[in-house]
Amino acid sequence: MTTAPPTTAPASVPVPAAQAIQRVGVVGCGVMGAGLAEVCARAGRDVLIVSSSEAGLTRGRGRLERSLGNAVRKGKISEAGREETLARVTYATDLGSFHDRQLVLEAVPEHEPTKLDIFQTLDKVVEDPDAILASNTSALPVIRLARATRRPEHVLGLHFFNPAPVLPLVEVVSSLLTGERTRRTAAEFVTEVLGKQAIHAGDRSGFVVNALLIPYLVAAIRMYEAGYADARTIDNAMTLGCSHPMGPLALADLIGLDTVAAIASALYEEFKEPTHAVPPMLSRMVDGGLLGRKSGEGFYSY
């Protein structure tokens, strides 16, 4: 009588590092924070949003619910998918709640002292020594944020674009201190988990996209300020004459005039190019709370 050869259990297949990231934290729930939370939750991840106030969380929850409602109406997800996505998102007001996160995405306004404080705190509260701490900064030097921690090799920039659930590009920004494993894992998470397209950018103000885009927007604002043409004429010139999907002033309103001004200031600080300087009109609009779509008034009324 013959006996069957002994069988051995198949070796377990190691899970790629990017796929192993299941618990994501998002700092801030403004337009970008809510968008990042949606993208990660729709990818099946457990998402925790932390904001500094209950009122902020309420506004962020509303943004997320409206965006998912739009996705249902456009046939992007089902009603069941919407409910499952919402169920994956939780909310808190204490950064200490991030203790078990494997990836934290910071998405607060472009104010360097605030971001530095956040990264110092994240360094203390996130327990996993291999966790990735990422900033959605549009222009600030990633290396300064990294130096605020004791784990600079695990810090990098992941710059998404607004609206994050729709636009496919993410800039992966490594500083001189970012580890290769961190860069590779973050890029794989962006492409393989979130289904986005990643480009690698150096840690220079503006990275790739904003280093090209912001001088163009600033030039359009200067043209408007100098009285060359009104806002609609300038925008029509670029949409009808250059096939741009949106004119520069309408795009500045969509981005947020405070964000445009902050990025322009960062570009000017780094490169000292006169074309990067913030136009006086833009400064006055920001001072007056005319921030574009998010305030209801900018170069256009909303």
User: In this structure, is the dihedral angle defined by the CA atoms of residues 221, 222, 223 and 228, taken in order, positive or negative?
Assistant: positive
Burial 32-57 (b: 16+ CB within 10 A, else e): bbbbbbbbbbbbebbbbbbbeeeebb
Spatial contact of 267 and 214, defined as CB atoms under 8 Å apart? yes
171 catalytic? Reply is yes
Catalytic residue among 38, 106, 110, 171: 171
The β-bridge partners of 135 are: 106, 157
Catalytic option among 38, 136, 154, 159: 159
Backbone angles phi, psi at 155, to 5 degrees: -110, 135
Amino acid at 33: G
283 part of the active site: no
Active site residue 138: yes
Q: Checking DSSP bridges between strand 132-135 and strand 46-50, what pairing results, if any? A: unpaired
Which of the following is catalytic: 138, 174, 205, 265?
A: 138
Out of 136, 174, 205, 210, the active site residue is 210
Cα(58)–Cα(63) distance, integer angstroms: 9
Point out the residues that are catalytic: 138, 159, 171, 210
